[in-house]
Structure 1
Amino acid sequence: MAGPDSTSESLDPEQIERMVDDALGAIAAAADSAQLKAVRQTHAADRSPLALANHSIGSMPKERRKDAGRLIGRARGRVNEALAARAAELEAAELAARLEAERVDVTLPVVEHPVGAEHPLTALINRMCDVFVAMGWEVVEGPELEAEWLNFDALNFTPDHPARFMSDTLFVDPPSGHTIMRTQTSPVQVRTLLDRALPVYVVSPGKVFRADEYDATHLPVFHQLEGLAVDRGITMGDLKGTLDHLAKAMFGDIRTRLRPHYFPFTEPSAEVDLECFVCHGSSVGDPERPCRACRSEGWIEWGGCGVVNPRVLVAAGIDPNVYSGFAFGMGVDRTVMFRNNAPDLRDFVEGDVRFSRSLVGGAR
C-alpha cells in the first residue's frame, strides 16, 4: 500500500491501522526466516508504507506533527515487536528441525575413521634421545642447509676428500657459494663446540642428505643420530661404555664390538658392530642354520665412532692438551630395520600409515 501524500496536512488513523494490519498479517504468514526477511523489507524498511508515512510528517503544519509522530511511532513499534516475536519463533522451530535432522542414534554400529600413527623413525629418535637425556646429556639440533666449512673443513676433511665431490654431496647453486645439504649431523657438534662452554655432552638427531640412489637399501634423505662428549680425561673406554649402554637400551642384552677404521674427524676410529640379535652368533660356521639378518657372520654393522681428532678440537678453539672427547654416529633408519626386520627402506618414505602402525610398536 502506498504511503500518504507528502502534501497532506494530517495522517488518517484508519489508513495507518490498515498498514499495521497488512504488516501483522504478512508477519504471521511468514513460514521461515527467509520469508520473514522479505516481509521485513516490505513493511519495516526505509521504503515501507509506514516509513514513507513517517517521512511525510515533515510536510505537515508544525502543530500537527506531534500527534502524527506519536501515531506513526506506535504503529511502527507494533510492527517491530511482531517481527521480533515471529523471528524468535521461527529460529526456535528451525533449530529444532535442524537438531532432529542431525540427530545421531548412538546405539547403531558405526565405521570408525582411521587415525594416524607416529612414524617409526620419529618414535625411535625420541627413544634414543631419552636414553641420553637420562644420562644427563642434551639434545641439540642445527640447520639442514649447511656451510661447507662446518660440514667438512672443521671436521678435518681434506679439500680432495671423495666425500666432497658432487657425486656424493648435494651442493646448492652456485657451488662457489660453498653451501650444501648437510651429509651428516656432525656440523651440529662443531656448532656446539664453537658456541658453548666445556664440558659438552650432546646428541644431535636429524635428516642428512647424500647423492644416493633411491632403492631398497639407499635413500637420498635419511636420518642419523650422532653423539659428542668433550671433557677432561675422556678415553676410548668411555666411548665403549656409552655405546654398550645404548645398544642394551635399544636391543636388550646384546654385545658390541669395535673394529679399527678411519674417519677424518676421529683418531683412533672404529666401526661399531652389534651382535646379531637373531642368531647371537650361533649361525657362524653352521650351513644348516643360516641367518639372514647377519648373513651368518654373527655381527651387524651399526655405525662409526672414535676419539675426537685433536685437529677438530683446534678448529673449534679448544686446547687438545687439556680436553679430549669421543664421537659416534649411526643411521636411525637402519636401526629401525634392525629392530623390526623391515626389508625395504623405501617403505619409510612412502607415507603409508599401515607401515607406521606395523612398526611403531616395536620402535617404542
Structure 2
Amino acid sequence: MPKVSNKYSFPLNAITTVAQLNDQLDLLESEAMKQIAVSKDPESLESLRVGFFGKKGRLSGILGSMGKLPGNERPLIGQRANLLKTELQKLITKKLEELTTAELNNQLAREAIDVTAPSSGVPFGHRHPLITTTENIVDLFCGLGYSVAEGPEIETDHYNFAALNIPEAHPARDMQDTFYLGGNLLLRTHTSPVQIRYLENNPPPVRIVAPGRVYRRDAVDATHSPVFHQVEVLAIDEGLNFSHLRGTVLAFLKAFFGELPVRFRASYFPFTEPSAEVDVQWRGRWLEVMGCGMVDPAVLEGLGLDPERWSGFAAGLGVERFCMVRHGVDDIRRLYTSDLRFLEQF
C-alpha cells in the first residue's frame, strides 16, 4: 500500500512567499497523481486520501503556512488549493470505479459456470404433499368403482349456485364468500358444478369423483386460505339411500386414516337432504373432515331426472385438511410455501 510522504522540499515554517507555496502545491499534485495511478485496491486509495486531505495531511500543512502571507495573497493560494483538492478527489473516485469494476470482472470470471459441461448429477425432487394426498383420495374412490370428472374453475352462477338449489338469498352467494368476475362469471367456490355438468351429458347410473382447485374470500390464517382444493363424490342410481352413503364414507375414511372413531352429525346443505357433517377423532378431539348427504330431489328434477326412480348421495372434503391430519401439519400456509426444508420431508 503506497504511503504519503510527509517530507517537503524545505521546512513549511520557512515558507514565506506565494511562489514557495505554489511549488509545494505543484509537488503535491505530481506525487498524488503518480500514487493514485499505481494504487491497486480501494484501501490504498483511502490511505492516500487521508494522507493528502486529512486534518494532518499534506494539503492541510501547506494551507497552514498561509498565515505568513500578506492578506491580499492568501486567496490566491486558497483558490489553487481548492481546485487541486477537487481535481485529485475526482481522480480518486475514477480510480476507485476502475478498481471496483476490475474486481467484479475478476469475480465473474472466477465464478463462471460452463453450462455446456456434463452434469454432475441431478437431485431427485419430491411430489408435493397436496398432490399425493389428492391422488391417494381419488385412487381410493376409483377402487370403489368411481371415475374421475373435471370442470372449469371459472364458472357461471347457474352451475355454481342455481343448479345446486342455492337460492339468491343464500349466504353462500355473499360477496364475502365468492370472487365474482362480472358478466355472470365467478371463480367456483366448490367442485359441485362438475357434478351438474357431468349429469347433463351422462345419464345415470353414475359414480364420479371430482377433484380440483376452488376459491373463496377467506382471510389467510393457520386453517384458511382463499385458494384451496376439494374432492367431491357423487353417486346416482336406483335405490340408493343414506346407508349406502354412510357405508361408502366409512370405508373411505378407514382406508385413508386407518382405525379412527367416526361420527355423523346432522347438518344442512342446500343441495342435499338429509345432510350430515362427518368428524374423526384426532389427537383427542373431534375434527370435521367431510360434508355429505342425499341429493335433493329438486336438483334431480332440475336435471330432468325422475326423483321417484333415481336417488343419489354426494360428499365433499378439503384436501388440505386431509393432508394436514395425515402428516401432522399445524399451519395450512406451510403447504403453499417453497421452503425445501418442509417439502423434502415428503
Question: TM-score range, shorter-chain basis?
Answer: 0.5 to 0.7
Aligned match of 1:232 in 231, 238, 248? 238
Aligned AA (1:318)? L
Contact 1:269-1:306 at 8 Å conserved across structures: yes
What's 2:305 paired with?
Answer: 318
Structure 1 position 102, deviation (Å)? 6.5
Residue correspondence of structure 1 range 1-364 to structure 2 within 5 A: 113-172=122-181, 174=182, 177-276=183-282, 278=283, 291=284, 294=285, 299-358=286-345, 360=346
Q: Deviations over 1:288-311 (max 9, x none)?
A: xxx4xx2xxxx2111110000001
Aligned AA (1:338)? V
Structure 1 position 241, deviation (Å)? 0.5
SS of 2:179's equivalent in the other structure is: coil
Judged with a 3 Å threshold, the aligned counterparts in structure 2 of structure 1 residues 113 and 153 are, in CA distance, closer, same or farther, namely: same
Structure 1 position 214, deviation (Å)? 1.6
Structure 1 position 338, deviation (Å)? 0.8
Identity %: 46
Contact 1:223-1:333 at 8 Å conserved across structures: yes
Structure 1 residue runs of 4 or more that deviate by more than 6 Å after TM superposition: 101-104
Unpaired stretches in structure 1, ≥5 consecutive residues:
1-100, 105-109, 279-290
Structure 1 position 354, deviation (Å)? 3.2
Aligned AA (2:310)? Y
- Give distance in 1, aligned partners of 2:132 and 2:218: 25
Q: Deviations over 1:301-351 (max 9, x none)?
A: 111100000011111111101000000001000111111110111111112
**What do you get for the CA RMSD once the two structures are aligned?**
1.8
SS of 2:127's equivalent in the other structure is: coil
Aligned AA (1:354)? R
- Give distance in 2, aligned partners of 1:185 and 1:353: 30
Aligned AA (1:116)? G
SS of 2:312's equivalent in the other structure is: strand
- Give distance in 2, aligned partners of 1:303 and 1:314: 25
SS of 1:157's equivalent in the other structure is: coil
- Give distance in 1, aligned partners of 2:341 and 2:255: 26
SS of 1:228's equivalent in the other structure is: strand
Structure 1 position 216, deviation (Å)? 1.4
Structure 1 position 150, deviation (Å)? 0.5
SS of 2:180's equivalent in the other structure is: coil
Q: Deviations over 1:52-94 (max 9, x none)?
A: xxxxxxxxxxxxxxxxxxxxxxxxxxxxxxxxxxxxxxxxxxx
Contact 1:117-1:353 at 8 Å conserved across structures: no
SS of 2:344's equivalent in the other structure is: helix
Structure 1 position 200, deviation (Å)? 0.6
Aligned AA (1:144)? E
Aligned AA (1:331)? G
SS of 2:212's equivalent in the other structure is: strand
Unpaired stretches in structure 2, ≥5 consecutive residues:
1-115
Judged with a 3 Å threshold, the aligned counterparts in structure 2 of structure 1 residues 213 and 231 are, in CA distance, closer, same or farther, namely: same
Aligned AA (1:337)? M
Structure 1 position 119, deviation (Å)? 0.6
Structure 1 position 260, deviation (Å)? 0.4
SS of 2:289's equivalent in the other structure is: strand
